[in-house]
Structure 1
Amino acid sequence: MSQSSSQKPQEADERLAALYSNATAVRAISSAVEGTIGPKGLDTMLVDTRGNVIITNDGVTILNRMEVTHPAAKMLINVASAQQEEIGDGTTTATLLAAALLNEGVAQVERGVPVTRVIEGIASGVHYAVERLQSRARSLDFLGEDVLYQVAMVAGREHDDIAHLVTEAAHLIGFEKLRDPQYRLSDHVMSSVGAQSEVFQGLILNKQRMSPQMPASVLEAKILIVDDALEPEEIDSEALGTEAGFQLYRHYKEEFRKHISALPQLGINVVFTDRGVSPVAEEVLGEAGVMIVQRVASKDLRKIAEHTGARPIKRTGIAKQPEELHRFLGRAESVVEDERMETIRIVGGYGKPLATILVGASTEEVVGERSRIARDAASSVQAAVRGGVVPGGGSVELWTAREVEKMRETVRGMTGFGVEAVARALRKPMTQIVQNAGFNPLEKVEEANVAQVELGSDSLAINCEDGSVSDMVEYGIYDPTLVKTHALRAAGEVTVAIMRIHTIIRMKDHSDDEE
């Protein structure tokens, strides 16, 4: 009898070996970033084998730079990367929620709840939690634009100068552009050692003019974009070996020189190309005082075109009639090379508004972290414009946890235990923030919970300075709704995916098949 009873726990452990292994790996990943969350969160130092150092508070940077081999751990890192790609912020929150959901789910399984029932409960609980969390969103139209600065301060880890830069850029761009799902304000954050931090209407390229003999500064720029090489049309090497081919090549060269010589007559004084520039074009345009910037990345060419109103052409496009070619040109107030920073600055384009946030610092390590902070702040501001905001500090998750607990009472059967796991996991953000601030999380989170119930509030949390229960709205502590909902949804998806894994099998190397 005793032998039979001792075998049952052992058999259960073997059946759940994959789940336990995965849960352990996820906990290890979560522990690497949990100390960074909240106003009292600390930094992490990443060191590679060459001694290169990154000091950061950014969750996705830490996760992506970690040396990780466990497949479940990689799944969690992929969730953080997806959060970064889709929203641009909230990667630490997504990681903490996923780890908390998995831990709570495993705890229910250890109580004897079938894994499938727990999975069902987590899926339905997360779905309901997202709906309830979305219902607490505050529109910026109601709150006022000052909230943008407060959102930038929270996401920017209380760097006042960065918050001001990002907010100013958002106002330059305008809310309509920020709501465009194809536009990302964070893509317009630039950084440079020794630069003065600023925001300006225009863009910066990490490029230089083709030749020092070309003008370093062009005012009232008339811009041609060649999405191609600025060279004569190519002739097949085999055809070039024939007399007819050689004559055709000479004809192309002569025509090319003629068309190139005509460009300055149209007032063109700046040319950007996707690829290389022939010596003929460099000579003719250089003598005419035209600035050429070659081998500009396609994404940068698109930005230039959008900001200046230019329409890119191929190399054959320079043969267009002057009046037709004129319609392809863009304009800007100035195009200037900064020789010390080795950059080209395009300011005051006549096309669509474009703001660049330039972040500077005295060292490479510091400027890298300030750049990451600025990108997080820019992403959060844009997310706030798109989907509104909710109270921060973990307050809205705590409110949502109680809503999920109410839902749990309506769920019959063992699925309710999975719903309960969601309610417990939603306490994790505030718990970790309080713990990082040096207070007892069990005591303080319960204080905030009781206060929320008594006052019917979703915005009460713990003040990390003195440990008191405070209203996050009164303190201006907001988080973008989209950051929260996407993080919760992503955490639920990866938790369900990991809990469904029954067995881990090492695949054979495909090279074995080839042999």
Structure 2
Amino acid sequence: MSAQLGGQPILILKEGGSRTRGRDAQSMNIAAAKAVAGAVRTTLGPKGMDKMLVDTIGDVVITNDGVTILKEMDIEHPAAKMMVEVAKTQDDEVGDGTTTAVVIAGELLKKSEELLEQDVHPTVITLGYRQAAEKAQELLKTIAVDVKAKDKEILSKIAGTAMTGKNAEASKDKLCDLIVRAITLVADADGTVDTENVKVEKRVGGAIEDSEIVEGMIIDKERVHPGMPKTVKNAKILLLNAAVEYKKTEVDAEISITSPDQLQMFLDEEERMIKGIVEKIKASGANVLFCQKGIDDIAQHYLAKAGIFATRRVKKSDMEKLARATGGALISSIDAISGDELGIAGLVEERKVGGEEMIFVEKCKNPKAVSIIIKGGTEHVVDELGRALEDALRVVGVVVEDKKVVAGGGAPEVELSLRLREYAATQGGRIQLAIEAFASALEIIPRTLAENAGLDPIDKLVELRAAHEKGKKTFGLDVFKGEPVDMWKEGVVEPLRVKTQAIASAAEAAVMILRIDDVIASARSAGPSPEEMAAMGGGMGGMGGMPPGMM
């Protein structure tokens, strides 16, 4: 990058820096973004395939989840990184539809390339795309259907749609049931759902069918003392955020002991303090203790003698969930222990799961935090099941919050595409071309569904359009029958937010990439220069006196 001044070039960029401008920069960025979309495109839909990702240390991830694929891929290109952001946003906001968002963004850029070749200015395209995206949001609201948060059947269908195409298919009904029960239990009175309150524990061993929900919590810990009871019925649970040990002084104090009797008194006093703490716990009526900090050895002995089931070093997040599940309060000082703040559970039991001890806190009255334990034959199966479950939980949570759903199977995209074409005709000018490009870009979703199922994308798209032109708004592609079917009747439904968010973030990413006309890259620093090396430690001598040819 240089400027001419009287025949003398002036260098502005550091040596080794590069600059790509104009059409080259655009086509380079668009190609990179399209490559990212291409990487996840084959995973879309019920017949989508999986990707196997191997990282630098040889760990293997097998997944169908768009955002997982993009996070695991080590993406270098700056424009490609923007596409990963689209997937991350979609994942944070809704939890599902990450592949859809990326594929739409890629297609929007592909269509813009054709317009750029016809000399339509990028600002015109971006303006058209923005208008089309806004219009699409309005149209989506008109085709959305209201559902009741208590309608378990619809919620189950939504969970099923989110899990389709992932490895969870075999026992979909069982898992959907677990998900709907979990979300309805943890939903707050005002309708908000925090899926963090559903704890998913993964265990290798057994079959997917053996997965179960615990209406309470599973804690990956064991009792601190073998003398404690393994099972406690009608548990009164004390949640303590203070160490059960003798108090050390806050200031540095020195105690001088001059005779053996004094030492014995000192030790006896320590023991008496700990005994006092255990007495206090016992007096509160608690028969189960979950402690976030440590429990002293002597305290363990006294707790076991008192028949109290105790666990130490429980994670803070687990403590908070236990409080929600049992209705207890977190107590942060030994002096504040009282019987009023205990949590209640019908059963607390230590059981072996997959060869490891775990504590089950079950039969809670109104658990606002629950656990799902998933099992599968191999670690990869369990991991992918976990990802499918997380997506489905988030999606069901979104529907409980928003209470609006649309049909799946590419139905909303075909409908939007038709309506946007009608809208484009009312606009006129070059913007019309951009809006039409946006409309045809949305058709990539039904096309990809058809391609991944081995069907002819053009034939299927024509059939879908024909159905929608007759006013069949909920018709989408049934990839198993290979024909347009009413998705609503088939039970393929998705939350409205999946679609609104996917289109919004795809349009924003496409607009952002389109507006770039100059890519200025700094030189890569391969390491310190010889001058810097000399300053660091006397040239090569600083590097252990290697001969110059060795570096």
Query: TM-score by structure 2 length?
Result: 0.82
Question: Does 2:441 align with 1:432?
Answer: no
Question: Does 2:207 align with 1:189?
Answer: no
Q: Gapped runs of 5+ residues in structure 2?
A: 1-19, 258-262, 537-551
Secondary structure of 1:211's counterpart equals: coil
Q: What is the CA–CA distance in structure 2 between the aligned matches of 1:402 and 1:240, rounded to whole Å?
A: 83
Question: Is the 2:204–2:375 contact (alpha carbons within 8 Å) kept by the matching residues of 1?
Answer: yes
1:9-20 to 2 correspondences below 5 Å: 14-20=21-27
- Of 445, 454, 460, which aligns to 1:444? 460
- Of 68, 81, 100, which aligns to 2:75? 68
User: How far off is 1:383 after superposition?
Assistant: 2.3
- Of 272, 276, 280, which aligns to 2:298? 280
What do residues 137-188 of structure 1 show as CA deviations (whole Å, max 9, x unaligned)? 1122399532222222221127263443333442465388177445117843
Q: 1:507 to 1:471 in 2, by over 3 A?
A: same
Return 305-314 or 349-358, whichever deviates more.
349-358
Return 161-170 or 204-213, whichever deviates more.
161-170
Instruction: Report the counterpart of residue 252 of structure 2 in structure 1.
Output: 238
Question: Does 2:311 align with 1:293?
Answer: yes
1:108-127 to 2 correspondences below 5 Å: 108-127=115-134
User: How far off is 1:308 after superposition?
Assistant: 0.4
Question: Is the 2:291–2:311 contact (alpha carbons within 8 Å) kept by the matching residues of 1?
Answer: yes
User: How far off is 1:285 after superposition?
Assistant: 1.5
User: How far off is 1:306 after superposition?
Assistant: 0.6
Poorly superposed stretches of 4+, deviation over 6 Å: 246-253, 508-515
Q: Gapped runs of 5+ residues in structure 1?
A: 1-12
Q: 1:193 to 1:175 in 2, by over 3 A?
A: closer
Return 374-383 or 119-128, whichever deviates more.
374-383
Q: How many residues align?
A: 495
Return 104-113 or 60-69, whichever deviates more.
104-113
What do residues 279-309 of structure 1 show as CA deviations (whole Å, max 9, x unaligned)? 3332321322222222222211111001101
Secondary structure of 1:81's counterpart equals: helix
Instruction: Report the counterpart of residue 378 of structure 2 in structure 1.
Output: 363
Secondary structure of 1:165's counterpart equals: helix
Q: What is the CA–CA distance in structure 1 between the aligned matches of 2:266 and 2:507, rounded to whole Å?
A: 65
Q: What is the CA–CA distance in structure 2 between the aligned matches of 1:208 and 1:75, rounded to whole Å?
A: 45
What do residues 458-488 of structure 1 show as CA deviations (whole Å, max 9, x unaligned)? 1112221242222112222111211111111
Q: 1:240 to 1:127 in 2, by over 3 A?
A: farther
Secondary structure of 1:271's counterpart equals: strand
User: How far off is 1:310 after superposition?
Assistant: 0.9
Q: Give the residue type in structure 1 aligned to 2:511.
A: V
Using the aligned pairs only, state the percent identity.
Answer: 31
Q: Give the residue type in structure 2 aligned to 1:275.
A: K
Q: 1:360 to 1:16 in 2, by over 3 A?
A: same
User: How far off is 1:241 after superposition?
Assistant: 6.4
1:152-167 to 2 correspondences below 5 Å: 152-157=159-164, 159=169, 161-167=171-177
Instruction: Report the counterpart of residue 287 of structure 2 in structure 1.
Output: 269
1:106-505 to 2 correspondences below 5 Å: 106-141=113-148, 144-157=151-164, 159=169, 161-171=171-181, 173-174=183-184, 177=187, 180-181=191-192, 183-184=194-195, 187-195=198-206, 196-236=210-250, 238-240=252-254, 255-314=273-332, 317-320=333-336, 325-339=338-352, 340-387=355-402, 388-454=404-470, 456-505=471-520
Q: Give the residue type in structure 2 aligned to 1:34.
A: R
Secondary structure of 2:375's counterpart equals: strand
Structure with the greater alpha carbon radius of gyration: 2
Instruction: Report the counterpart of residue 4 of structure 2 in structure 1.
Output: none
Question: Is the 2:108–2:507 contact (alpha carbons within 8 Å) kept by the matching residues of 1?
Answer: yes
Q: What is the CA–CA distance in structure 1 between the aligned matches of 2:483 and 2:505, rounded to whole Å?
A: 32
Secondary structure of 1:474's counterpart equals: helix
Q: What is the CA–CA distance in structure 1 between the aligned matches of 2:410 and 2:119, rounded to whole Å?
A: 31
Instruction: Report the counterpart of residue 6 of structure 1 in structure 2.
Output: none
Question: Is the 1:226–1:271 contact (alpha carbons within 8 Å) kept by the matching residues of 2?
Answer: yes
Q: What is the CA–CA distance in structure 2 between the aligned matches of 1:313 and 1:506, rounded to whole Å?
A: 55
Secondary structure of 2:111's counterpart equals: helix
Q: Give the residue type in structure 1 aligned to 2:180.
A: A
Question: Is the 1:460–1:471 contact (alpha carbons within 8 Å) kept by the matching residues of 2?
Answer: yes
Question: Is the 1:87–1:483 contact (alpha carbons within 8 Å) kept by the matching residues of 2?
Answer: yes
Q: 1:141 to 1:182 in 2, by over 3 A?
A: closer
Q: What is the CA–CA distance in structure 2 between the aligned matches of 1:384 and 1:398, rounded to whole Å?
A: 22
Instruction: Report the counterpart of residue 549 of structure 2 in structure 1.
Output: none
Q: 1:399 to 1:337 in 2, by over 3 A?
A: same
What do residues 365-424 of structure 1 show as CA deviations (whole Å, max 9, x unaligned)? 111112222222222222233332211111111101111112212324333333223212
Q: 1:431 to 1:309 in 2, by over 3 A?
A: same
Q: Give the residue type in structure 2 aligned to 1:216.
A: K
CA RMSD across the alignment? 3.0
Secondary structure of 1:46's counterpart equals: strand
Q: Which has the higher helix share?
A: 1
User: How far off is 1:26 after superposition?
Assistant: 1.3
Q: Give the residue type in structure 1 aligned to 2:232.
A: V
Question: Is the 2:424–2:432 contact (alpha carbons within 8 Å) kept by the matching residues of 1?
Answer: yes
Q: What is the CA–CA distance in structure 2 between the aligned matches of 1:468 and 1:260, rounded to whole Å?
A: 69
Return 412-421 or 78-87, whichever deviates more.
412-421
User: How far off is 1:51 after superposition?
Assistant: 3.3
User: How far off is 1:254 after superposition?
Assistant: 5.0
Q: Give the residue type in structure 2 aligned to 1:430.
A: P
